[in-house]
Structure 1
Amino acid sequence: MMRVRTTASAVSKGTEALVHTGRVPTRIAELMRAPHQLGDFPFPVSYGYLAVGVVDEGPAEWLGTRVFGLLPHHSHHLVTPDDVEPIPEAISDHRALLAGAAETGLNILWQSPPRYGDRVAIIGAGMIGTATALLASHLRLERLEIIDTNPERRALLTGLGLTALAPEDAGDDCDIVIHTSGNESGLARALEITGDDGTVVEASWYGETSPTVALGADFHARRLSIVASQVGQVPAGHRARRTRSQRLRAALSALHDDRFDALITGTSRWQDLPQLMDELSSDTTTAAETLCHVFDYEEGT
Structure 2
Amino acid sequence: MTARRLRFTGPESVEVERRAVPDPGPSEVRVETDVSAVSAGTEGLIYRGEAPTDLPSDETIDALEGDLSFPLTYGYAAVGRVTAAGADVDDEWLERRVFAYNPHESHFVADPETLVPVPDGISTRTAALFANAETAVTLVLDGQPAIGERVVVFGQGVVGLLTTALLAHSPVETLVTVDRLERRRSVGETFGADRAVDPADDIPTRIESIAGGRADLTYEVSGDPDALNDAVATTGFDGRVIVGSWYGTKSADLDLGGRFHRDRIAVRSSQVSTIAPRHEGRWSRERRHDVAWSWLRRLDLEDLLTHELPIERADEAYRLLEDRPDEAIQVLLTYE
> Is the pair's TM-score, using the shorter chain for normalization, greater than 0.5?
yes
Do the aligned partners of 1:88 and 1:253 also contact (CA within 8 Å) in 2?
no
* Bigger mean CA deviation after superposition, 31-40 or 61-70: 31-40
* Bigger mean CA deviation after superposition, 19-28 or 135-144: 19-28
Alignment partner, residue 133 of structure 1? 164
Q: Does 1:110 align with 2:110?
A: no
User: Whole-Å Cα distance in 1 between the matches of residues 156 and 62 of structure 2?
Assistant: 26
* Bigger mean CA deviation after superposition, 120-129 or 78-87: 78-87
Alignment partner, residue 74 of structure 2? 47
Do the aligned partners of 2:150 and 2:174 also contact (CA within 8 Å) in 1?
yes
Alignment partner, residue 68 of structure 1? 99
Aligned residues: CA RMSD: 1.9
Do the aligned partners of 1:15 and 1:205 also contact (CA within 8 Å) in 2?
yes
Which of the numbers 119, 129, 138 marks the counterpart of 2:150?
119
Residue type of the alignment partner of 1:267: E
Q: Return closer, same or farther for 1:30/1:7 CA change in 2, 3 Å cut-off.
A: closer
User: Whole-Å Cα distance in 1 between the matches of residues 231 and 130 of structure 2?
Assistant: 26
Do the aligned partners of 2:306 and 2:331 also contact (CA within 8 Å) in 1?
yes
Q: Does 1:18 align with 2:45?
A: yes
Do the aligned partners of 1:268 and 1:296 also contact (CA within 8 Å) in 2?
yes
Alignment partner, residue 6 of structure 1? 33
User: Whole-Å Cα distance in 2 between the matches of residues 250 and 75 of structure 1?
Assistant: 28
User: Whole-Å Cα distance in 1 between the matches of residues 61 and 326 of structure 2?
Assistant: 25
Do the aligned partners of 1:179 and 1:187 also contact (CA within 8 Å) in 2?
yes
Residue type of the alignment partner of 1:233: T
Per chain length, whose mean CA-contact separation is higher, i.e. which structure has more relative contact order (CA < 8 Å, sep 6+)? 1
Which of the numbers 24, 28, 42 marks the counterpart of 2:55?
28
Q: Does 1:165 align with 2:206?
A: no
Q: 1:188: Cα distance to partner?
A: 1.6
User: Whole-Å Cα distance in 2 between the matches of residues 62 and 31 of structure 1?
Assistant: 26
Residue type of the alignment partner of 2:196: L
Output one character per residue of 1:65-108: Cα deviation in whole Å (capped at 9) or x when no partner. Answer: 11111111011121122111111211111111111111001111
Count of residue pairs brought into register by the alignment: 295
Q: Does 1:272 align with 2:313?
A: yes
Percentage identity across paired residues of the two chains: 33
Tell me, what secondary structure is at the counterpart of 2:308?
A: strand
Q: What's the TM-score once normalised by structure 2's chain length?
A: 0.82
Alignment partner, residue 128 of structure 2? 97
Tell me, what secondary structure is at the counterpart of 1:289?
A: coil
Alignment partner, residue 245 of structure 1? 286
Q: Return closer, same or farther for 1:184/1:195 CA change in 2, 3 Å cut-off.
A: same
User: Whole-Å Cα distance in 1 between the matches of residues 329 and 222 of structure 2?
Assistant: 12
* Bigger mean CA deviation after superposition, 158-167 or 262-271: 158-167
Q: Return closer, same or farther for 1:105/1:199 CA change in 2, 3 Å cut-off.
A: same
Which of the numbers 217, 221, 225 marks the counterpart of 1:176?
217
Residue type of the alignment partner of 2:72: V
Residue type of the alignment partner of 1:114: P
Residue type of the alignment partner of 2:169: H
Q: 1:275: Cα distance to partner?
A: 3.3
**4+ aligned runs moved over 6 Å, structure 1:** none
Tell me, what secondary structure is at the counterpart of 2:279?
A: helix
Alignment partner, residue 4 of structure 2? none
Q: Return closer, same or farther for 1:270/1:20 CA change in 2, 3 Å cut-off.
A: same
Do the aligned partners of 1:122 and 1:146 also contact (CA within 8 Å) in 2?
yes
Tell me, what secondary structure is at the counterpart of 2:226?
A: helix
Alignment partner, residue 260 of structure 2? 219
Tell me, what secondary structure is at the counterpart of 1:237?
A: coil
Residue type of the alignment partner of 1:205: W
Q: What's the TM-score once normalised by structure 1's chain length?
A: 0.91
Q: 1:34: Cα distance to partner?
A: 5.0
Do the aligned partners of 1:75 and 1:297 also contact (CA within 8 Å) in 2?
yes
Q: Return closer, same or farther for 1:185/1:289 CA change in 2, 3 Å cut-off.
A: farther
Output one character per residue of 1:185-225: Cα deviation in whole Å (capped at 9) or x when no partner. Answer: 32122112211010100111100011211111121131111
User: Whole-Å Cα distance in 2 between the matches of residues 35 and 217 of structure 1?
Assistant: 44
User: Whole-Å Cα distance in 1 between the matches of residues 143 and 330 of structure 2?
Assistant: 26
Do the aligned partners of 1:148 and 1:164 also contact (CA within 8 Å) in 2?
no
The structure with the largest alpha-carbon Rg is 2
Do the aligned partners of 2:58 and 2:64 also contact (CA within 8 Å) in 1?
no
Residue type of the alignment partner of 2:243: E
Tell me, what secondary structure is at the counterpart of 2:216?
A: strand
Q: Return closer, same or farther for 1:150/1:234 CA change in 2, 3 Å cut-off.
A: same
Output one character per residue of 1:233-270: Cα deviation in whole Å (capped at 9) or x when no partner. Answer: 11122123322233223212210123222211211112
Q: Return closer, same or farther for 1:113/1:191 CA change in 2, 3 Å cut-off.
A: same
